[in-house]
Amino acid sequence: MRRIDAPTLKGWIGDGRELAILDAREEGEFGRSHLFWANPCPLSRAEVRARAVLPRRPVRVCCVDGGEGGLAERLAAHLEGVGCSDVSVLDGGTPAWNAAGYVLFSGVNVPSKAFGEWVEHEYGTPSVDPAELDAMMRSGADMVVLDSRPMDEFRRMSIPSATNVPGGELVYRIGALAPRPETTLVVNCAGRTRSIMGAESLRSAGVPNRVVALRNGTMGWELAGFRCARGGTASFPPGVPDGAALARERAAGFAAARGVREVADATALRGLLTDRERTAYLLDVRDPAEYAAGRLPGSRTAPGGQLVQATDRWIAVRGARVVLVDDDGVRARMAGGWLREMGGGWEVHAYTARPEDLTERGPPRPAECPEAAAVPAVAIAPAELSALLASGGAEVVQLSRSLGFREAHIPGARWGVRTRLAALAPFNAEGRPLVIAADDEWVARLAVPELRGLTMAPVRVLEGGMAAWRAAGLPLRADRHMPTDSECVDAYLRPYDRNEGVEEAMREYLCWEVDLVREVARDGDARFGGARV
């Protein structure tokens, strides 16, 4: 297995060739300290995650960990086993990077978060603080508040009177939401990035209204002593909005100024995606409901606002080719323009799909995981498991994400992370059958040999997973304190995910976002704004 030192990897980041830096740790560990352009690929989900973010196997990859020893090597071995042919390991992990004098970053989605702060500074994005917004509301000002997050976050908490319009939809739908140029547009998110990017999308696209971001979003609103609404559902009307043609003109100018390339037709699209010398991502930036109603075969759903907010969720390869798809000529161009400015060296293309292109329908296909399909496993139906639990005849290990486990788990289940299940071995001294429940079938199946190596008890998997348990109407339990904050290694906890010190965590998070610009300048590996033409 090839090892490289920190100066070699530093040189690779700037040499213009395709490169993926994959960190093998769980997201909570990754969030404590990592390289700027590193992409989380935790061992517990590597079989699916690696396939999603490395669509071309010969791409150059460097595996990283926190210096614990063995995690990066295990990830590298897996990648080589699935056909990756140019894999290295950073010798000494992040401690070696730090020792070489290079910068490490905390948090997640760091390139996107830092880019948002740069945009505010570079573009002069105006903002209002919570007290100003409250005064505007009380005065009856002609204004609309636009929450740029996905609906699930909006329901959790929102500014009173806000309408949910995810960031990728703003330029497309603003003509219907605010037809009068005299209306002030206030864009918010939970913190800063999506507020800034949403507001600046409208401004840079040439919307004539006064546009401002809510400084520090719902966190700032609550820290200022105001109350958020809960359970909101106000959203944009579906379908083609009024003003779509004007939005298309605005988006075209925005994208052209940043070097986004237009894909002429389906033949040209196939040529881009089948080029064996380039990594290519095919991402559908429309609303997820539109994606489910009809999409290009092989595309992944990546709503435009979230793609810009969390680029590393979808794109791991610097210098890759990124093809963004919509059916309106607005959303792909807007997201593409921002990706071009973000400094990942991406060659970005926008494709406006025709109705006859969108032949695949329904929810996204289950993740491809041949390793899981090869694991022999005995399944148990939800009703049978429920009966066994009632009689004390089984134990459940639930492999949901930690925050999901807090919200809903099978009563009596133990929470665990695949590849780290040895910590659970002592609890089943009686040797009762172990049943693995998971949100994803492939996770449960891959955990079978791991648990079999830890116990003599029979190991089963819950047939249909947690979705089948819910569908059967069987009981679920919520416990915000299980697992504890410190045990949630698989998630980087947002301030409002924490059980203690929430206000302090909010303040620390907002300061962290603001400080990212300084840290990025010190690091020197980001080239924000370099794609403008």
**pLDDT > 90 fraction of the chain, expressed in percent and rounded:** 94
pLDDT digits (tens, 9 = 90+) for 359-385: 999 998 888 899 999 999 999 999 999
100 and 119, same domain (yes or no): no
pLDDT digits (tens, 9 = 90+) for 401-447: 999 999 999 999 999 999 999 988 776 667 889 999 999 999 999 99
pLDDT digits (tens, 9 = 90+) for 215-229: 999 999 999 999 999
CA dist 203 and 212 (Å) reads: 9
pLDDT digits (tens, 9 = 90+) for 32-45: 999 999 999 999 99
pLDDT digits (tens, 9 = 90+) for 381-394: 999 999 999 999 99
pLDDT digits (tens, 9 = 90+) for 483-513: 999 999 999 999 999 999 999 999 999 999 9
Is 513 domain-assigned?
A: no
pTM metric for this prediction: 0.96
CA dist 277 and 397 (Å) reads: 43
Binned at pLDDT 50, 70 and 90, residue 1 comes out as confident
Mean pLDDT to the nearest integer, 174-201: 98
Residues 300 and 316 sit within 8 Å (Cβ to Cβ): no
Q: Give the model's pLDDT for residue 428.
A: 67
49 and 95, same domain (yes or no): yes
Q: Give the model's pLDDT for residue 532.
A: 46
Neighbours of 2 (CB within 10 A): 10
Q: Could you list the residue range(s) of the whole structural domain that residue 418 is in? A: 370-487
CA dist 98 and 94 (Å) reads: 6
Binned at pLDDT 50, 70 and 90, residue 238 comes out as very high
237 and 122, same domain (yes or no): yes
Is 511 domain-assigned?
A: no
142 and 217, same domain (yes or no): yes
| pLDDT value at 242 more than 50 | yes
User: In terms of Cα–Cα distance, which of 451, 419, 453, 411 is closest to 435?
Assistant: 451
Which CATH number do you get for residue 386?
3.40.250.10
343 and 276, same domain (yes or no): yes
In Å, what is the CA distance from 45 to each residue of 39, 93, 244, 420? 13, 20, 40, 12
Is 527 domain-assigned?
A: no
Looking at the 3D structure of the chain, how many domains does it have? 4
227 and 119, same domain (yes or no): yes
- The one-character DSSP state at 413 is P
197 and 273, same domain (yes or no): no
- Strand duo 19-23 + 38-40: pairing: parallel
